[in-house]
Amino acid sequence: MTEDLSNVTTTETAAAKPRMPLRTRLIFFLVAWAIVLMPFYFWRATWFGRELTGQQMTEYLHDDAKPRHIQHALVQVGNRMVRKNDAKDANPRQWYPDLLRLATHPVEEIRTTDAWVMGQDPSQPEFHQALLGMLNDRAVLVRYNAALSLVSFGDASGRPQIAAMLRPLEMTAPLAGRVVARAKPGDAINHSTVLMRIEAAQETTDVRSPIVGRVRAILVAGGQEVRSGDNIAVLEPGVEQAWEALRALYLVGTAEDLDLVRQYKKQSPDYPDRVRQQAELAEQAIMDRAKK
């Protein structure tokens, strides 16, 4: 009788192959779960749409160690201000003193969000005064948001800032030094995207974008020496920035803004139809006001 060698070999191989120890299998299992869960927890920690309780709102608004907690709470206050007739929501007025306090917070992103939130309740004269002060903020986006929010108060004081939202933004060198890295024309940029790195004798500084948009031009070459205040880049406003500015000029624009508004009526691959349509609406509203 002939022995089936193929079966013997298979059986011996299976018997010879050791099983993975339980501890090792558990480690692999936990690592796999971590790969799945970590993105979820990161998303949950950074998503401002997650509803907070009233107690959490108060705690977050005073959590200076975690600026994103403050931002999260500010967004939630703004949502409650918009839904002020919803009986399920706690009265957002209890946090209004915090909105005034945060108008001078040292973190730019908090002031930017705060300026937007205060525009959700134009019945508050204290918000109106705070927003007027924020028109002189050192941060570009804070000034822009303050100007937009003032429109809801029927105040056109921020019109120059709104017009600036539609113009290319010129960037200057914050210090003298040598350019060691730089973005390229046409690059899409977010807030805080590094545009270039300048290396000085004692320090190296990253020049970051203050807006969302696109690089129109880089005015210096790699390895070039620049002086403090030299023009180094030109940035184009992003879609949302242009659209919000045109919406505001629909309400407060003057004849002085017409040439700027009309530029956005032109066909451009960088701006969708809704921006061009808003430019047409703004132009017509401005012309109607001029006639009156």
The whole-angstrom separation of Cα 92 and Cα 86 is: 11
pLDDT at residue 292, as a whole number: 82
pLDDT in tens, 171-186: 999 999 999 999 999 9
Q: For residue 205, give the DSSP letter.
A: E
pLDDT at residue 115, as a whole number: 97
Residue 1: inside a domain = no
Domain that residue 99 falls in: 23-157
Residues 134 and 113 in one domain: yes
Looking at per-residue pLDDT, the higher value among 48 and 62 belongs to 62
The whole-angstrom separation of Cα 103 and Cα 85 is: 26
Q: Is the pLDDT score of 229 beyond 90?
A: yes
Torsion sign over Cα 51, 248, 106, 169: positive
The model's confidence at residue 267, banded by pLDDT at 50, 70 and 90, is confident
Residue 216: inside a domain = yes
Count: domains in the chain:
3
Chain-centre distance of CA 221, in angstroms? 28
Residue 36: inside a domain = yes
Residues 133 and 245 in one domain: no
pTM of the entire predicted model: 0.81
Residue 167: inside a domain = no
Residues 146 and 199 in one domain: no
Residue 18: inside a domain = no
Answer with the one of 126, 157, 188 that is the final residue of a domain.
Answer: 157
Residue 106: inside a domain = yes
Residue among 151, 159, 196, 163 at smallest CA distance from 177: 196
Say if CB 278 and CB 246 are below 8 A apart.
Answer: yes
Q: Which CATH number characterizes residue 190's domain?
A: 2.40.50.100
What is the residue-averaged pLDDT of the chain?
87
Q: Is 73 helix (H, G, I), strand (E, B) or coil?
A: helix
Residues 27 and 138 in one domain: yes
Residues 230 and 243 in one domain: no
Residues 231 and 279 in one domain: no
The model's confidence at residue 83, banded by pLDDT at 50, 70 and 90, is confident
Chain-centre distance of CA 84, in angstroms? 25
Residues 104 and 27 in one domain: yes
pLDDT at residue 34, as a whole number: 46
